[in-house]
């Protein structure tokens, strides 16, 4: 089997610089989403890609690939810590990494953070990786639904990343089978956070060209405002062994000249084409950030989430109560007003005075007989009879009785 690949990265419509990086090669495919607040997100993602890129080679077994790829992520983490030591202004930088290596009919995956890997097969899109976020913890524990997670105020809190915060971060690894016709999607949350999975699946099914599909997905993110950097890589699995392999591509921060180099990067001169993004100005503060995965912090976030949900329920309850009170008050005031109105009509075949209005609310009448005379409607002249049957509005109670007296005078 061979692969047909494409990748692209876009800064988006709001961010000042691109802190995403991506790489698609012959065997290795990876995306990284950096973060760093004042500075460093672009450096973090580019350093991670640079440290992992040496795994882009053939492997004899999936076990060997899994071990080397996971070790490469740990080495990338060490290099980020070294970069912070040598350049203290980068303190706090980190990056997500979602990468995979193809070994025959298997994809060997290593993942940390909230970038994602999807597999599209026969019209169905499946998320292979799991987000290392606070809201995903809440979803897993049944506290909130995936729909609530998508709009949760803490949805950008990451529980695991590469960076200078953890010497030995926990890396998810897995081995997943693949077959001809599969299309693998690797993306930063600039895509998955703003474009629905239904739309992503539709593009992967509709657009056969990897390059065009990548651009279509980035365009969809831009159409949704693109508040974040967006990076997309597509890997199509082909059973045509004669197909020409796609040329390795580096995108985002990793494709730019370096502003910072670590000692490890200097030692790794065998990869001169994997360069870093220059930091020409300070980056704006990022919405996405990392928090250590401690039970104390989780308890704090869960307690805060519980308080937020209680406040939301109280707000809704108070709001609904006020709305109901306003509706009831309006109905009571309206009914009281109707009881100041009078009209003359027919009751049991006789002329009668009614209190209220002729209309009703569904089956509920808004009028009642105030006085029923002994004047048969049939005894009235045709015009008067027609007027009474159609009802005659009165200015007040006294006026209604005056109308009855006048009708008494014209009755047979």
Return the closest-CA partner of residue 134 out of 110, 105, 111, 114. Answer: 114
The torsion defined by the Cα of 135, 137, 141 and 145, in degrees rounded to 10, comes to 30
Measure the CA–CA gap between 130 and 113, rounded to whole angstroms: 8
Check if the beta carbon of residue 154 is closer than 8 Å to that of residue 87: no
Measure the CA–CA gap between 108 and 352, rounded to whole angstroms: 90
Antiparallel, parallel or unpaired: β 157-158 and 289-290: parallel
Task: Note the pLDDT of residue 261.
Answer: 64
Walk me through the domains of the chain, giving residue ranges and CATH numbers.
2-293 (3.60.40.10), 342-410 (no CATH)
Question: 246: helix, coil or strand?
Answer: coil
Beta-bridge mates of residue 250: 23
- DSSP state letter for 288: -
pLDDT digits (tens, 9 = 90+) for 45-79: 999 999 999 999 999 999 999 999 999 999 999 99
Check if the beta carbon of residue 48 is closer than 8 Å to that of residue 32: yes
Return the closest-CA partner of residue 72 out of 120, 118, 23. Answer: 23
Return the closest-CA partner of residue 290 out of 190, 164, 148, 171. Answer: 164
Measure the CA–CA gap between 39 and 284, rounded to whole angstroms: 8
Measure the CA–CA gap between 250 and 265, rounded to whole angstroms: 17
**Please, what is the angle between helix 210-223 and helix 197-206, to 10°?**
150
User: What backbone phi and psi angles, to 5 degrees, belong to 389?
Assistant: -65, -30
Instruction: List CB contacts of 302: < 8 A, sequence separation 6 or more.
Output: 138, 143
Return the closest-CA partner of residue 199 out of 231, 229, 224. Answer: 224
Return the closest-CA partner of residue 116 out of 129, 133, 101, 102. Answer: 129
Return the closest-CA partner of residue 334 out of 363, 369, 359, 370. Answer: 359
Measure the CA–CA gap between 250 and 30, rounded to whole angstroms: 10
CA-based diameter of the chain, in Å? 121
Check if the beta carbon of residue 343 is closer than 8 Å to that of residue 404: no
Measure the CA–CA gap between 77 and 52, rounded to whole angstroms: 10
Cα 391 versus chain centre, distance:
59
Is 0.85 topped by the overall pTM? no
- What are the strands of the beta sheet with 350-361, ordered from one edge? 364-376, 350-361, 342-347, 392-394
Mean pLDDT of the chain: 87
**Which residue shows structure tokens 């998508």?**
150
Spans of the chain, pLDDT less than 70: 37-39, 241-246, 257-306, 308-309
Task: Note the pLDDT of residue 241.
Answer: 62
How close are the terminal C-alpha atoms of the chain, in Å? 106
Task: Note the pLDDT of residue 18.
Answer: 93
């Amino acid at each position: 089997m061979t692969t047909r690949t494409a990748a692209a990265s876009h800064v988006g419509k709001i961010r000042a610089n691109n802190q995403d990086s991506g790489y698609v090669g012959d065997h290795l495919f990876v995306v990284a989403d950096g973060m760093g607040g004042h500075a460093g997100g672009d450096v973090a993602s580019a350093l991670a890609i640079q440290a992992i890129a040496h795994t882009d080679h053939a492997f004899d077994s999936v076990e060997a690939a899994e071990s080397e790829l996971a070790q490469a992520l740990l080495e990338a983490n060490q290099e980020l810590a070294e970069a912070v030591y040598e350049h203290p202004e980068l303190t706090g930088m980190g990056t997500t990494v979602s990468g995979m290596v193809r070994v025959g009919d298997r994809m060997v995956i290593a993942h940390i953070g909230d970038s994602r890997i999807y597999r599209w097969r026969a019209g169905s899109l499946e998320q292979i990786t799991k987000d290392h976020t606070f809201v995903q913890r809440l979803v897993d524990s049944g506290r909130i639904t995936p729909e609530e997670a998508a709009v949760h105020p803490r949805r950008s809190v990451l529980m695991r990343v590469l960076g200078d915060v953890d010497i030995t971060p926990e890396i998810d690894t897995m081995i997943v089978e693949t077959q001809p016709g599969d299309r693998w999607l690797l993306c930063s949350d600039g895509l998955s956070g703003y474009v629905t999975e239904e739309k992503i699946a539709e593009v992967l099914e509709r657009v056969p060209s990897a390059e065009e599909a990548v651009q279509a997905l980035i365009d969809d993110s831009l159409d949704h405002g693109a508040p974040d950097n967006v990076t997309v890589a597509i890997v199509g699995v082909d059973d045509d062994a004669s197909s020409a392999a796609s040329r390795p591509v580096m995108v985002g921060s990793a494709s730019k000249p370096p502003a910072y180099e670590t000692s490890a990067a200097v030692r790794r001169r065998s990869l001169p084409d994997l360069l870093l993004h220059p930091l020409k100005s300070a980056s704006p503060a990022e919405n996405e950030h990392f928090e250590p995965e401690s039970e104390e912090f989780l308890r704090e976030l869960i307690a805060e989430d519980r308080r937020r949900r209680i406040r939301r329920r109280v707000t809704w309850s108070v709001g609904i109560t006020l709305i109901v009170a306003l509706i009831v008050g309006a109905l009571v005031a309206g009914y009281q007003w109707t009881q100041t109105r009078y009209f003359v009509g027919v009751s049991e075949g006789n002329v009668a005075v009614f209190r209220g209005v002729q209309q009703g609310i569904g089956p509920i009448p808004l009028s009642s007989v105030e006085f029923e005379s002994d004047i048969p409607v049939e005894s009235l002249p045709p015009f008067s009879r027609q007027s009474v049957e159609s009802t005659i509005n009165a200015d007040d109670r006294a006026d209604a009785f005056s109308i009855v007296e006048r009708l008494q005078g014209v009755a047979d």
